[in-house]
Amino acid sequence: MGHDDAWYEHDGRSDIWVGLRNAHVWSALGWHDIRQRYRRSVLGPFWFTLSTFIMIGVLGVLYSTLLKQDIVTYLPYLGVGLVIWQYVSTVITEGANSMINSAFLIKQIRMPLSIHVCRIVWRNFCILLHSLPVVILFLLAIGHWPGITFLLIIPGLLILLLHGVWMGVLLGILCVRYRDILPIVTNFLQVAFFFTPIMWSPDLLRDRAWIAEFNPLYHLIEIVRAPVLGTPIHLQSWVWSIGFLIVGFVAAQYLMQRARHRLTYWL
pLDDT-derived band at 1 (thresholds 50, 70, 90) equals very low
Query: In angstroms, rounded to a whole number, what is the distance separating the alpha carbons of residues 118 and 133?
Result: 23
Residue 94: other Cβ atoms inside 10 A: 20
For residue range 128-183, what is the model confidence (pLDDT) as tens digits?
888 888 888 878 877 777 778 889 999 999 999 999 999 999 999 999 999 899 99
Q: Is residue 96 a contact partner of residue 171, using CB atoms and an 8 Å limit? A: yes
Strand, coil or helix: 99: helix
First and final CA of the chain: distance in angstroms?
30
CA 197 distance to own-chain centroid:
16
Query: pTM, whole model, 2 decimals?
Result: 0.89
Measured CA angle at 267 (ends 177, 112), to 5 deg: 95
> What Cα–Cα distance (Å) separates residue 168 from each residue in 66, 152, 172, 249?
36, 25, 5, 11
Query: In angstroms, rounded to a whole number, what is the distance separating the alpha carbons of residues 223 and 163?
Result: 13
For residue range 28-79, what is the model confidence (pLDDT) as tens digits?
988 888 877 777 665 666 666 777 778 777 877 787 777 777 777 888 888 8
Query: In angstroms, rounded to a whole number, what is the distance separating the alpha carbons of residues 2 and 14?
Result: 13
For residue range 175-208, what is the model confidence (pLDDT) as tens digits?
999 989 999 999 999 999 988 888 888 877 777 7
Q: Which helix (H) or strand (E) holds 178?
A: none
Higher pLDDT, 108 or 60: 108
The torsion region of residue 68 among left (phi > 0), alpha (psi -120 to 50) and beta comes to: left
| 2-25: average pLDDT | 79
